[in-house]
Amino acid sequence: MKDGEGGGRVRWRRFAVLTIPAIAVTAGLGLALAQGALAASFAVSGQQFKVSATSLEGEGFAQYGSIDVNAREELIPVAVTAIKEAKLHSLCQSVVTTLPVVGDISLNLTAGKKAPVEASNLFVDATQLAGDAVFSNIEIGRDASTLDKGPAEAVGMQDLFAQQADTVSITGLQQTAWATNAGTFKLSGLSMNISKGKKECF
């Protein structure tokens, strides 16, 4: 019997083959944390939510790829949209939860029908974005680690794709997201309701 085999002994070569990739992933995750590559500062839920607005006007726009983490420590790729100052008209946010026996339950939030919703240092970790957009002084293909037009924290990993602009205007905004962060979030005319069935913003 060769040394390191049989008799309950550890097969060191096989152990190394299995362990080294795990160590590399952990190290890479630590590096991503250090470089600001992880997006939301909290564990995201297992549900995405939808956001719509008739229009959005923003100053200081940046967008780059990143990663969210859920409570199971699973990694979720997202596109982070960061805006220094944003105004949204007729904001709608919805999330649908399916419960045993009860079925679908919808949570709907609306605001900004008269005065716009205002947000500063707004970060949205999204998987889908649609609408008609206009940018001023846009830079497409900039290194994500060198972004400087959005919020101060809006930077990604070195060598990764990003874009930024002085201003952004989007009409007919439709977005699916895992998380939203904001320094301040002013919701004028806020209304929230829960109802049975599937009722989404779009």
Beta strands in 91-190 (DSSP E): 91-99, 103-111, 117-136, 139-143, 161-181, 184-186
Rounded (5°) CA angle 45-51-56: 135
Cα separation, 67 vs 201, whole angstroms: 25
Closest CA to 177 of 122, 134, 136: 122
Tokens of 158: 């070195």
pLDDT digits (tens, 9 = 90+) for 155-174: 999 999 999 999 999 999 99
Q: Show the tokens assigned to 15.
A: 């152990």
Question: In the chain, which ranges are continuous DSSP H helix?
Answer: 12-34
Mean pLDDT by 10 residues, the chain (202 residues): 50 48 46 54 93 98 96 94 98 96 96 98 97 98 98 95 98 98 97 96 98
The residue whose two tokens read 């008609």 is 132
